[in-house]
């Protein structure tokens, strides 16, 4: 996933090019949308909706031939970029990777280190029925890169109901880099 920012108030050859490549695994955001994500302390419903839509979109990329349980995640960086992730299973089970970690590893491998929120959805055969909270390993990865008090985990069930938690709420007394400092 590549995120591209452009100023929609100016017509230019870049605007033309961006419109031509839209829909080819690119997310194109206008500067006002980008600014809204970057400068608001509290996420708006529109921003949450965008994240949740991306998480639902990631369900179709899930590789879950053993459990049949598909999970999609969308990770919002503090600079406004959004990285998607899906679960990827393996016959040996241990090498499997959750959607949340896939999103984080995708972002970190693109040099991102500051994160605002993650939206997560999942269900058998990709049909979302209930909330799909992150597993313990995913929570620990979040603890490595996020501020536990401010990082938000957004979950959605099959009825469209959402729940939002801070990382600190779902991982109390979390162990992180600060624990290793003298």
Residues with catalytic annotation? 100
- 30-40 in b/e burial notation, b at 16+ Cβ within 10 A? eeebbebbeee
Q: Which of 42, 112, 105, 45 is nearest to 73 (CA)?
A: 105
* Angle at which helices 99-108 and 45-58 cross, to 10°: 110
Per-residue CA distances from 99 to 25, 151, 180 (Å): 17, 17, 27
Rg over CA atoms, the chain? 17
């Amino acid at each position: 996933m590549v995120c591209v920012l452009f100023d929609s108030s100016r017509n230019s050859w870049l605007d033309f090019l961006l419109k031509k490549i839209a829909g080819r695994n690119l997310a194109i955001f206008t500067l006002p949308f980008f600014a809204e994500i970057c400068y608001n302390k509290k996420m708006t419903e529109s921003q949450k909706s965008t994240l949740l839509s991306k998480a639902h979109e990631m369900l179709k990329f899930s590789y879950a031939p053993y459990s049949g349980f598909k999970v999609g995640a969308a990770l919002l960086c503090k600079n406004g970029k959004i990285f998607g992730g899906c679960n990827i299973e393996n016959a040996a089970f241990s090498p499997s990777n959750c959607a949340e970690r896939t999103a984080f590893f995708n972002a970190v491998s693109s040099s991102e280190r500051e994160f605002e929120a993650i939206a997560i959805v999942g269900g058998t055969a990709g049909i979302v029925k209930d909330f799909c909270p992150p597993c313990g390993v995913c929570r620990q990865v979040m603890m490595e890169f996020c501020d536990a008090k401010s990082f938000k985990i957004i979950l959605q069930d099959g009825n469209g109901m959402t729940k939002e938690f801070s990382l600190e709420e779902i991982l109390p007394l979390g162990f992180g880099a600060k624990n290793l400092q003298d």
